[in-house]
Chains A and B, each alone.
Chain A
Amino acid sequence: MNYLISLIIGAITSVMILLNGTLSNAYGNYASSIIIHVAGLISILLVLFISKSKFRLQAGLPIYLYGAGFIGVATVLFTNLSFENLGVSLTQALGLLGQTTISLFLDHFGLSGANSSGFKVKKLIGLFFIAGGILVMTIY
Chain B
Amino acid sequence: MLFIYLLISFSAGASVVLGRIINSTLAEKIGTLQSTLINYITGLSLSYFIYLISKGEPLLSAVNKISVPLWAYLGGSAGVVIIMCSNYITPKLSAFYVTLLVFIGQLLIGIIIDYFVLQELSIGKCIGGLLVLIGLTYNLWIDRKESDR
Q: Can you list 26 A-B pairs, Cβ within 8 angstroms, ordered by A? A: A5-B89, A6-B98, A26-B66, A34-B51, A36-B75, A37-B76, A38-B44, A40-B77, A41-B37, A53-B33, A57-B30, A65-B26, A69-B38, A69-B39, A69-B44, A78-B12, A79-B9, A98-B13, A101-B10, A126-B136, A127-B139, A131-B135, A133-B129, A133-B134, A136-B124, A137-B125
Chain A residues, CB < 8 A from B75: 16, 19-20, 23, 36, 39
Chain B residues, CB < 8 A from A88: 109-111, 113-114, 117
> Which listed residue (B5, B31, B41, B54) contacts A85, Cβ 8 A?
B5
Q: Mark A79-104, 1 if CB is under 8 A from B, else 0.
A: 10110011111111111111111110
Q: Once the chains bind, are B46 and A70 in contact (CB under 8 Å)?
A: yes
Chain A residues, CB < 8 A from B22: 64-65, 67-68, 71
Q: How far apart sit A39 and B72, CA to CA, in the bound complex (Å)?
A: 11
Residues of A within 8 A of B (CB): 2-3, 5-20, 22-23, 26-28, 30-31, 33-45, 47-48, 51, 53, 55-58, 61, 64-76, 78-79, 81-82, 85-103, 106, 111-113, 115, 117, 120, 122-123, 125-140
Q: How far apart sit A131 and B122, CA to CA, in the bound complex (Å)?
A: 18
Chain A residues, CB < 8 A from B13: 94-100, 102
Ranked nearest first, the 4 interchain pairs of A and B with the lowest CB-CB distance are: A140-B124, A10-B105, A98-B13, A129-B135
Q: How many residues of B contact A (CB 8 A)?
A: 109
Q: How far apart sit A65 and B117, CA to CA, in the bound complex (Å)?
A: 38
Q: How far apart sit A19 and B74, CA to CA, in the bound complex (Å)?
A: 7
Chain B residues, CB < 8 A from A81: 5, 8
Residues of B within 8 A of A (CB): 2, 5-6, 8-26, 29-31, 33-48, 50-51, 54, 57-60, 63, 66, 68-69, 71-82, 84-86, 88-89, 92-93, 97-98, 101-111, 113-114, 117-118, 122-125, 127-139, 142-143, 146-147
